[in-house]
Structure 1
């Protein structure tokens, strides 16, 4: 009996030793990533490296993450664009792959102001990765105010309605979506209060007055472009969050001189929630487009198709995607 107890004890000690060794290896590997990135900014293109990164992140403790964060955040501020992008990829892997996601996210939140400039980075992969990174924080409740403020800062930036200058090799000097509409993908869910609508039994959301006002101001800016407005329409219609006052700010676009912009809105109107009064006035305008002989034929047809199915002021109508 005593011998059996001793054997079990030895096995427990050995197993513990193996686990400790694995933890130490994971910690060392996580802490070595900044040096690996500096030596090879293109590491993210290596599938094996990416797979190992996932394993390392999943094995690391919150303390491991806290120790390595300052170095990784510093790399996101590098003058080397590929290094910035790969460092952001590592940040995203940590946020989405950590075994203690909530505590890890809380550790990263204080660094968001330093990551904010990447949302308007001249290197398009940095912009895309930072957008994904910030979106990953929108599901946390309570939402960190710094997340909302970072997105509002970009939304209000003088350049936010225009395509960004691009240093990506082989790309056009200015390409990709303007950053302002991209911020709606962060602001709409992050600033929302969700509830179950008793009339439809759907989960709805409404944003804070501050965010609603900022979005309306953005939509009304004198330097708006058709591309920026079209992207904004898409973000507002796809969102689970519906703000009737914000949606009403889109309705003047039904009278736009840009036919493509009119089409973009007509194709999405049934997916927006309006007040009964705004819904009624919008239907009148859509009917006038459908019956106006001076309107382009394809615009008339689109308006007519919308009228045939757009029967309520909610975004849960029966209209197909037009």
Structure 2
């Protein structure tokens, strides 16, 4: 039987899975999670089978296979008999539905999670994840004020659990929306608090995200030296963890900084690098973002060259 391949202890499955995820060996992680679903299903333990089905969802999500992630999340909902775990499963389903562009379906899933979750009103873990996902849904449906409130609720609940890096990420996302609304002082305050939290509970990827957000904010506030230090730090981290998709966004911000400070060659070179990474990721949104920045800086360089030429002509004429 397939169940004979089970490690000596069920916890070994989690060790095997986390080891594979940390090494970005998604095929191995998927094999472990799929095996666990089958194993617990054969035992008749559908609660744990459903939990592992959520793990299958996560692997597909991390691999960028959002259709498969949604299918796996729907299966997790279907087989989960435990009400608490079912609420969490609906939150995860909402996440995958948003990535598939199904905003209404995502809100419907959140509605189911909220309805079931009323029986667990004091559970900070469930509601922290609920508010975190609700914030994303509000943002995607052009309701930024509701998104800001939801991110704040998630941050408070995560911090109460001692999950400081998750709280920091929620504050980062909230500050991003405040920056879009040009509420710069408040955005800076929350980002500085987020840095304090992630320093207390280290999480490299989250730190890189916060550095990028604060770096971009400081560009808008014309604090260019601080912005450059933060954006370089963000780029180094994203490169070290091989998250090239996130690196594209940071490089675009660096290119914007160089353009604002009249370092046009650096601006063009950085935008070109961002476009190369975006193409490697085969992500159309990132390609458009990097290409747009490259167009902006090339246009700025052309204007600068044109202005220099006109100035030289005028000087020659006056001689």
TM-score relative to the length of structure 2 = 0.38
Relative to its length, the structure with more helix (as a share) is 2
- TM-score (norm: length of structure 1): 0.38
Q: Which one scores higher on RCO, CA 8 angstroms, separation ≥ 6?
A: 1
Please identify the structure whose Cα radius of gyration is greater.
1
